[in-house]
A and B are shown apart, each in its own frame.
Chain A
Amino acid sequence: MARKISMKQAINEALDQEMARDPSVICMGEDIVGGAGGEGERDAWGGVLGVTKGLYAKHGDRLMDTPLSESAYIGAAIGAAACGMRPVAELMFIDFMGVCFDQIFNQAAKFKYMFGGKAETPVVIRAMVGAGFRAAAQHSQMLTPLFTHIPGIKVVCPSTPYDTKGLLIQAIRDNDPVIFCEHKNLYGFEGEVPEASYAIPFGEANVVRDGRDATVVAYGLMVHRALEAAASLAKEGIEIEIVDLRTLSPIDMDTVLDSVTKTGRLVCVDEANPRCSIAADVSAQVAMRAFGALKAGIEMVTPPHVPVPFSPPLEDLYIPSAAQVAAAVRKTLKGGRH
């Protein structure tokens, strides 16, 4: 399994293999085919960052370029899903979800419940998340908590190419609506990925590093910040265990609780704004369900509660850093009861 590919290529491969396997899988989105349909240019673009590049040549009109109207095509994708297709809609930036909230929150999320379990909505909405792209406040948010809050929607945010391919394949095969969050600053990140198809089940967190001293819970880009922090902490003799949640809904609290029971200390790292975040949710659940195991107060590392700044130096300060994660870990180790 020596082959290494980028996260962007992993997404492309998952879409390609699922489209080849299942004729009901279709893709919709802005510019995902290419250009405006002019000869010779159709294949050139493949989405705003080229993620779907080349798929039109293989799967033809099962990839649809849509008008610049998110409310229209997200609604169409949800409708097609309710009628037996497995659409994968690319929403470009998750920040644009606002105009589709009724379709997602009130329609897709509710069908199974409101129609007595008889309606399935196997739609996947892919969207780029996260800051650090110099794209300012309206193209840089980490809106994972908004979707995690709504029952009936599954929320995924992978950190590696291997997880990305397996989780996207699972998302397409899943019978519920899935918001698939792709961190734009991980698109170029490479890792080993099997060529064959595989699915990673939802609701299983991944312990990416073993450690005895503190548990760091993260997802997406923040997993890499935690790993950086782990390397510097190890030089001080501090060994942290890192739990990559991978899916935020369903969430694998068992793995988090097992780890905290072992280490007695918890640091939650989240790129979302601090209030009502994934970090806040995990912290609350651990405080409620494993209070007796905690040897110190829980720490959260998040951006401040402000929009993502456009100024590059401020944006860099906004995103949680490895140094902040390491400092939070040290704080739990100092401030604890023993």
Chain B
Amino acid sequence: MSGITPIVMPKWGLSMQEGRVVEWLVEEGARIEVGMAILEVETDKIANAVEAADAGTLRRRVAAEGEVLPVKALLGVMAGSDVSDAEIDAYVAGYVTPVADEAGEEAAPATRFIEVDGLRIRYARRGTAEGTPVLLIHGYGGDLDNWLFNIDAIGERLPVIAFDLPGHGQSSVAVPGNDVAALAAFTGRLMEALEVGTAHLVGHSLGGAIACELALSQPGRVASLGLIASAGFGDEIDEGYTRGFATAQSKRDLKAVMEMLFADPAAVTRQMLDDVLKYKRLDGVGELLGRLCDGLFAGGRQQAQPGLRLAGCGKPVLAVWGREDRIVPAAHAERVPRPATVAVLDGAGHMVQMEKANEVNRLILKHVAG
């Protein structure tokens, strides 16, 4: 039955085991183009659209709206008109959801730790074995889960490494310094420790500034730059966010701050807030974020703008912004030195790699394919 293409429950991020089908966006019998949103799926962290990887005709909606299904469960079937309904019935009846390899996950945990300069750093390796790796660098206050919609999509082409910056996520509650240069130098040493010679750097927000700085100070480590809602292209930044994130104590205060990150505030789920609060409550994190905020954004201004010095660096540059970014203004996209591929996406805020994951993934994959 070579003409049948299954649509399966995606795996978004390291911890996703099941998702709920919110709504079908396409009728049975409809023609589907690559990249078209087929249905909406919700996890305990966020909701997003499942997009078509292949073109075809939607022949069968297998999953019902509201149904909770494991990763890789069959959601629907695409096939050409030469495939009979009976063949599709047989395919659906015969489909076996690959068991979430719990034993396998025990053997190879989703994340590992490595010690660099006395700091314990959490990282995840995904993707293919061959090729120039893509290093994902999250932003201020973030962690490697900020890439939950991106890591596996990029991993289909290249090896991917995501990590928690020092003082972030589950890495040690300490930083090598409170400026972009210190964080960039540390990232270089992390690459060395992970035995990564050269990588495509993809950085979000502060992570973008770190990537720019590393491209300037250690160009040999950098194959290309993918800059997502990047810092480092001007001094504007929303201090209400940077300071508010450091100081928010309660879920209520944090919710108001986190909602600034998205074009659609409904993206901020209870689970997302719980995860961030669990990090923020760890001894020393509040003070550390306060010091980072003082160092990186003194007076509510970005102190380092390495992006403006990229002209002539010779690295391919991709810059992506969400048009409704309230943290680092999308207008900074105009300041990215050319030549560069620049995209400003509608309907997205600062977390554009989550809100417009499929578009951002396509842009990154095209960019790293050179």
Contact = CB atoms under 8 A, between A and B. Distances in A.
Contact of A254 (B173, B252, B278, B283): B252
A194 B278 contact: yes
B270 A196 contact: no
Nearest to B109: A2
Interface in A239-257: 254-255
A194 B284 CA distance: 14
B84 interface: no
A210 B270 contact: yes
Contacts of A206: 251
Given A1-B170, A204-B251, A207-B270, A198 B109 contact: no
A84 B252 CA distance: 34
A201 B250 contact: yes
Contact of B281 (A2, A166, A210, A254): A166
B17 to A, nearest CB: 13
Contacts of B170: 1
B117 to A, nearest CB: 19
A18 B152 CA distance: 40
B81 interface: no
Contacts of A196: 173, 282-283
A327 interface: no
A197 B283 contact: yes
Given A1-B170, A2-B109, A198 B283 contact: yes
A204 B254 CA distance: 13
A1 B143 CA distance: 13
A210 B282 CA distance: 25
Contact of B282 (A2, A197, A201, A204): A197
Contacts of A194: 278, 282
B281 A198 contact: yes
Nearest to B111: A2
A162 B274 CA distance: 11
Contacts of B109: 2
A204 B278 contact: no
A83 B278 CA distance: 33
A207 B249 CA distance: 16
Interface in B228-250: 249-250
Interface in B268-293: 270, 278, 281-283
Given A1-B170, A204-B250, A204-B251, A199 B281 contact: yes
Interface in B244-264: 249-252
B282 A198 contact: yes
Given A1-B170, A2-B109, A194-B278, A199 B283 contact: yes
Most buried by B among A1, A254, A255: A1
A52 to B, nearest CB: 22
A69 B278 CA distance: 39
Contacts of A2: 109
B69 to A, nearest CB: 16
A296 interface: no
A199 B249 CA distance: 11
Contacts of B282: 194, 196-198
Nearest to B251: A204
B348 to A, nearest CB: 24
A215 to B, nearest CB: 14
A139 to B, nearest CB: 34
Interface string A189-222: 0000010111111001011001000000000000
Contacts of B173: 196
B261 to A, nearest CB: 20
B221 to A, nearest CB: 30
A3 B236 CA distance: 41
Contacts of B249: 201
Contacts of A199: 281, 283
A206 B278 CA distance: 12
A194 B278 CA distance: 9
A194 to B, nearest CB: 7
B274 to A, nearest CB: 8
Interface string A1-26: 11000000000000000000000000
Interface in B47-63: none
A223 B303 CA distance: 47
Contacts of A1: 170, 278
Interface in B172-219: 173
Contacts of A204: 250-251
Nearest to B277: A200
B279 to A, nearest CB: 9
Most buried by B among A162, A198, A200, A204: A198
Contacts of B252: 254-255
Contacts of B251: 204, 206-207
Nearest to A197: B283
Interface string A71-98: 0000000000000000000000000000
Contacts of B281: 166, 198-200
Contacts of A255: 252
A324 to B, nearest CB: 26
A198 B276 CA distance: 13
Nearest to A166: B281
Nearest to A196: B282
B250 to A, nearest CB: 5
A210 B287 CA distance: 31
Nearest to A200: B281
A201 B250 CA distance: 8
Nearest to A1: B170
A121 to B, nearest CB: 24
Contacts of B278: 1, 162, 194, 198
A200 B282 CA distance: 9
A57 B350 CA distance: 51
Query: When A and B form their complex, which 7 residue pairs have the shortest distance between CB atoms, in order from nearest?
Result: A198-B281, A197-B283, A198-B282, A196-B282, A204-B250, A201-B249, A210-B270
Given A200-B281, A204-B250, 5 more contacts: A1-B170, A194-B278, A196-B282, A197-B282, A198-B283
16 contacts: A1-B170, A1-B278, A2-B109, A162-B278, A166-B281, A196-B282, A196-B283, A198-B278, A198-B282, A198-B283, A200-B281, A201-B249, A204-B251, A207-B251, A254-B252, A255-B252
Interface of A: 1-2, 162, 166, 194, 196-201, 204, 206-207, 210, 254-255
Interface of B: 109, 170, 173, 249-252, 270, 278, 281-283
